[in-house]
């Protein structure tokens, strides 16, 4: 042990910093991957129960080992690369999708102190990274050299550009209301229990953000990029084995990210919902902030599955209409309202 400590101290300071950061990244990413694996299990179970079935129940007790079995299966499947596909782009497309979904967690505050990079422009950083994720879909669709994949990519590109604007404007409302781009400060600006959180003064933006989030992650009812019944499986028709699994991981990692971000922006992140309340406040003081964050995130993760089991797929022109003609005007109007409320220090939230 002493030997290792002396070996560690012999390293140059910058190398130490690099290694230490890498360890922190692993500490965030490894549980993320586990969460993604069990999120897929939860999806199959929950949708199963919603459709009066049982869902996976064969592998392990109650089917708990199903995601592991799926992962092993996908790892051993052959990766087929279509003829005339652009090989390099075909192979890096899944990585481009997964990378931003994981990198965005770098600025995410898990707790009052627990954050990898506590940067000032955290909100902008997340917006930028989520906007880069679309390239994975576009490149995959183009590089596959397949009509269906290409159609899926085109649909996805148009859809994500449309909804990103609404999403960005919803977040502009959040940063005006909280007065900061730092995610930790945004949470701290929501001190004071359930009704002090930003979801109430920013209710329209909250709705727009959640729905745009569903559209951004290409989930039902906005899953036209995949559209099994129309274009087979959209942008990832030609993908098999581990490459397909990476797309799958990215989709679920993005869903968890959007859920967690909704919890941070509108529902006070790691703050207790009963903070500062007469009886309930002290009663729940012992609960660590991380638990509240997980509960809030889980609510939105469940919402994603619930929506998928409930709604039929949107028609494409209706998606475009909703994004451009409904959401963007709503957000612009509400940003003006929030601006006025902040300038005139509307009591309860902005005084």
Partner 1 sequence: MTLEKLIFYVLAAVVILAAMMVVTRRNPVHSALFLILAFVACSGIWMLAEAEFLAIVLVLVYVGAVMVLFLFVLMMLDIDLAVLRAGFIKMLPLGVVMAVAMAAELILVVRAENFGLDKYAAPARHAADYSNTEEIGSVLYTVYMYPFEIAAVILLVAIIAAIGLTMRKRPDTKYLDPTNQVLVKRDDRVRMVSMDAEKG
Q: Rg for the chain (alpha carbons), in Å?
A: 22
Which residue from 32, 46, 81, 139 is in contact with partner 1, where contact means CB under 8 A? 139
Helix/strand/coil percent split, the chain, to 5: 70, 0, 30
Which residue from 42, 81, 102, 138 is in contact with partner 1, where contact means CB under 8 A? 138
What is the spatial distance between Cα 36 and Cα 130, in angstroms, rounded to a whole number? 18
Which residue from 39, 41, 125, 334 is in contact with partner 1, where contact means CB under 8 A? 125
Least distance (Å) between residue 91 CB and partner 1 = 14
Tokens of 264: 């941070």
What's 314's DSSP letter? P
Does residue 18 interact with partner 1 by CB under 8 A? yes
Least distance (Å) between residue 329 CB and partner 1 = 14
Least distance (Å) between residue 142 CB and partner 1 = 5
Tokens of 90: 């075909």
What is the spatial distance between Cα 196 and Cα 53, in angstroms, rounded to a whole number? 40
Nearer to partner 1, 2 or 317 (CB): 317
From the number of C-beta atoms within 10 Å of its C-beta (0-12, 13-18, 19+), residue 257 rates as buried
Q: Which residues are CB-contacts of 256 (< 8 A; sequence separation ≥ 6)?
A: 32, 35, 36, 39, 297, 301
Contact 168, 181 (CB under 8 A): no
Does residue 161 interact with partner 1 by CB under 8 A? yes
Contact 207, 166 (CB under 8 A): no
Tokens of 218: 């290409």
Question: Cis omega (within 30 of 0) on the bond before 326?
Answer: no
Which residue from 17, 195, 306, 348 is in contact with partner 1, where contact means CB under 8 A? 17
Please choose, out of 56-64, 126-134, 264-272, 331-339, the segment that lies near partner 1 by the rule CB under 8 A: 126-134
Does residue 158 interact with partner 1 by CB under 8 A? yes
Site string for partner 1, 177-206 (x = CB under 8 A): ----x-------------------------
Which residue in the block uniquely carries the two structure tokens 């942008």?
Answer: 235
Site string for partner 1, 87-116 (x = CB under 8 A): --x---------------------------
Report 72-91 residues binding partner 1 (CB under 8 A). Answer: 89
SS3 132: helix
Question: Between the CA of residue 223 and those of 13, 23, 90, what are the distances in Å?
Answer: 48, 36, 21
Least distance (Å) between residue 130 CB and partner 1 = 8
Question: Between the CA of residue 205 and those of 187, 188, 200, 213, 298, what are the distances in Å?
Answer: 17, 19, 10, 12, 20
Nearer to partner 1, 2 or 14 (CB): 14
Please choose, out of 72-80, 135-143, 266-274, 334-342, the segment that lies near partner 1 by the rule CB under 8 A: 135-143
Please choose, out of 42-50, 150-158, 239-247, 284-292, the segment that lies near partner 1 by the rule CB under 8 A: 150-158
Does residue 330 interact with partner 1 by CB under 8 A? no
Nearer to partner 1, 216 or 223 (CB): 216
What is the spatial distance between Cα 233 and Cα 144, in angstroms, rounded to a whole number? 12
Which residue from 9, 78, 113, 317 is in contact with partner 1, where contact means CB under 8 A? 317
Which residue from 154, 242, 298, 307 is in contact with partner 1, where contact means CB under 8 A? 154
Return residues touching partner 1 (CB under 8 A): 14, 17-18, 89, 119-121, 124-125, 127-129, 131-132, 134-135, 138-139, 142, 150, 153-154, 157-158, 160-161, 164, 168, 181, 317-318, 321
């Amino acid at each position: 042990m002493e030997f290792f400590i002396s070996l560690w101290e012999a390293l140059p300071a910058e190398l130490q910093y690099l290694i230490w950061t890498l360890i922190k990244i692993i500490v965030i990413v490894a549980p993320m991957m586990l969460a993604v694996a069990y999120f897929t299990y939860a999806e199959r179970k929950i949708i199963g129960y919603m459709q009066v079935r049982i869902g996976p129940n064969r592998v392990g007790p109650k089917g708990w080992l199903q995601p592991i079995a799926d992962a092993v299966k996908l790892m051993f499947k052959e990766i087929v690369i279509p003829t005339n596909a652009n090989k390099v782009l075909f192979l890096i497309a899944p990585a481009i999708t997964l990378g931003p979904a994981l990198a965005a967690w770098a600025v995410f505050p898990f707790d009052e102190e627990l954050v990898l990079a506590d940067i000032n422009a955290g909100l902008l950083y997340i917006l930028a990274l989520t906007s880069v994720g679309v390239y994975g879909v576009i490149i995959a669709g183009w590089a596959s050299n397949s009509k269906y994949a290409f159609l899926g990519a085109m649909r996805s590109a148009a859809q994500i550009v449309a909804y990103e604007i609404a999403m960005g404007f919803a977040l502009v409302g959040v940063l005006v209301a909280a007065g900061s781009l730092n995610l930790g400060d945004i949470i701290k600006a929501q001190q004071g229990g359930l009704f002090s959180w930003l979801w109430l003064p920013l209710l329209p933006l909250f709705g727009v953000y959640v729905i745009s989030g569903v559209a951004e992650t290409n989930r039902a009812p906005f899953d036209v990029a995949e559209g099994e019944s129309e274009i087979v499986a959209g942008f990832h028709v030609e993908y098999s084995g581990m490459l397909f699994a990476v797309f799958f991981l990215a989709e679920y990692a993005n869903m968890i990210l959007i859920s967690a971000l909704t919890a941070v922006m509108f529902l006070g992140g790691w703050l207790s919902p009963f903070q500062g309340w007469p009886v309930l406040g002290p009663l729940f003081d012992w609960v660590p902030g991380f638990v509240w964050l997980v509960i809030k995130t889980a609510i939105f993760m469940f919402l994603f599955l619930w929506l998928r089991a409930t709604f039929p797929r949107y028609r494409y022109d209706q998606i475009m209409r909703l994004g451009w003609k409904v959401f963007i005007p709503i957000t612009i109007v509400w940003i003006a309202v929030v601006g006025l409320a902040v300038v005139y220090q509307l009591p309860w939230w902005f005084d």
